[in-house]
Structure 1
């Protein structure tokens, strides 16, 4: 037998072996992980049920919450309110102006690795959504990677029901992972045309100046004032726990993973409402979501400014200036407030701010006042005086030529 014939036989044998391993009609079901030494299977650790379809079987755990259930002080029924305009502002995405949480699904996945790519798959897909007045939380689980076709077959019609998605870093991770798995299974990704509210970037816009980290667990602790149980595990440990389960069959390792995913979904729901209420109310005293930190007010005012809401921006900048602020943040606040007045042609309050900042080591008030006197007041003498004064301050080493904007 020549090399070409032998190679063809090997390829044919490999194809036959792959067909035998593939779950589905006429094939053996995916091999389940045998129980470990403790004998604890997934059903004994996490009550749920087995789902069967034409592609095989997978496991699902379910929880149901009434509309008055609270997480982080937020009632789930508050998701029914019209939050679209506030969400569009938060995400800087006009496509979210009609976003309705009652027609959306909250999504959080746990994967076998964090690198992404074709080798990464979601072994646990957590979904939360409303069915009537009940908030349903369903966690679809792969007891073995061979159950993935069955899991995708369950997800496809369910996800196709929704108009929107809510996630945390889902645009960069969760959704691409799921879309890749659907494509590899020769299925159409069901969420590709949905409006997507990814809370990670809005959260950073609001709180990165105050919080060292803006991970979902940190926001739950510092913003929603809710502590997770000590048994909660960090996200980076999740793949290790699942791989240990695949190796040992000990399902007790999975309990904390399911709990972590469960908490993430409830936190997503509560944080969505809290952030929308902050944006809608400005975090004013007496509102359901109140801001008590000057840095948070500055961040919200800047968001208003960047989304063309000048009245809200001005009011929020002024509130920020009445609260404790780091010196550099106070300078940036008054600078942005003056530029807001300048864009509106309100020269009196703008020049008042710049004049108060002259002599405080910043170049921009000299520059802005000189331009005002030259181009609007037509007072060239005053403009020249400011330029010469700025040059003297620079020569004395008392003037920063570049203003570093707050990131």
Structure 2
């Protein structure tokens, strides 16, 4: 198992006690497939650090997982892309397989996909893939492979130990977490693009994206997606 650490020349603006992470695996079934790479991004001493834990063979998985949790166990929250559905359940299954007494909580996760998915149509996105969102925001990668291709490349690497294959896998994961850190502020970017409606009272603060509305007998009814706030039905009297 190998740990690759890079200290960036820039400071990526994520909240204190948060880290970004993304995993690469040998497949989609966490009962049989293994974690072969985890990338994390965090801020330390006013600098942004990216660490990657790479398994040179599938047998390195337990050591990789132990190194990962040792570095992140004191952080409060994590930032992912589709982490609620894939990364967190997959990691927790693998941790359990190795009898490692640690688990990641979904309640501590900020899933960028979950934030963006409700606004797909409003933003005219063809899909909600990370690379699609990056292009929408004017971000273009050096990395050219997909997650599925990363799986296939690792299978080749397991046989050949070809350093070029390893570098392609590492770059894919590196850019996933780097740009995820960059687009963490997606809500600030979206506010201007979605014409967010702000409703504020002494007891309530809501930001809504109107979908449709109608006026009937001096009553305005709005269908909306909640941009910030969780109340589904409200009455406002003036």
TM-score by length of 2: 0.81
**Residues 1:180 and 2:123 are matched in the alignment:** no
Q: How many residues align?
A: 217
Query: What do the CA deviations read for 1:71-104 (whole angstroms, capped 9, x no partner)?
Result: xxxxx2x33xxxxxxxxxxxxxxxxxxxxx2201
Matched residue, 1:124? 37
Matched residue, 2:21? 107
The answer as to whether partners of 1:162 and 1:194 remain within 8 angstroms in 2 is: no
Alignment of 1:200-219 (within 5 A): 200-209=113-122, 210-219=124-133
CA distance in 2, matches of 1:228, 1:149: 31
CA-CA distance at 1:207 after TM superposition: 2.7
Q: Give the secondary-structure state (helix, strand or coil) at the position aligned to 1:239.
A: helix
Moved over 4 A (4+): none
CA-CA distance at 1:186 after TM superposition: 0.7
Matched residue, 1:159? 72
**Residues 1:169 and 2:112 are matched in the alignment:** no
CA distance in 2, matches of 1:194, 1:188: 18
Correspondent of 1:274 among 172, 186, 207: 186
The answer as to whether partners of 2:22 and 2:80 remain within 8 angstroms in 1 is: yes
Q: Bigger relative contact order, structure 1 or 2, given CA contacts below 8 A and separation 6+?
A: 2
The answer as to whether partners of 1:165 and 1:194 remain within 8 angstroms in 2 is: no
Matched residue, 2:218? 348
CA-CA distance at 1:309 after TM superposition: 5.3
Matched residue, 1:136? 49
CA-CA distance at 1:278 after TM superposition: 3.9
Correspondent of 1:189 among 65, 89, 102: 102
Matched residue, 1:233? 145
CA distance in 2, matches of 1:211, 1:193: 26
RMSD of aligned Cα (Å): 2.6
Which segments of 5 or more consecutive residues in structure 2 lack a partner in the other structure? Answer: 223-238
CA distance in 1, matches of 2:107, 2:101: 13
Q: Give the secondary-structure state (helix, strand or coil) at the position aligned to 1:238.
A: helix
- Bigger proportion of residues as strand: 2
Matched residue, 1:371? none
Query: What do the CA deviations read for 1:39-87 (whole angstroms, capped 9, x no partner)?
Result: xxxxxxxxxxxxxxxxxxx10111112445xxxxxxx2x33xxxxxxxx
Matched residue, 2:157? 245
TM-score by length of 1: 0.49
Matched residue, 1:65? 8
Q: Give the secondary-structure state (helix, strand or coil) at the position aligned to 2:51.
A: strand
Q: Give the secondary-structure state (helix, strand or coil) at the position aligned to 1:119.
A: coil
CA distance in 2, matches of 1:262, 1:350: 48
Query: What do the CA deviations read for 1:272-292 (whole angstroms, capped 9, x no partner)?
Result: 1132x146xx31xxxxxxx2x
Q: Give the secondary-structure state (helix, strand or coil) at the position aligned to 1:337.
A: strand
Greater C-alpha Rg: 1
The answer as to whether partners of 1:110 and 1:261 remain within 8 angstroms in 2 is: yes
Which segments of 5 or more consecutive residues in structure 1 lack a partner in the other structure? Answer: 1-57, 69-75, 80-100, 284-290, 318-332, 354-407
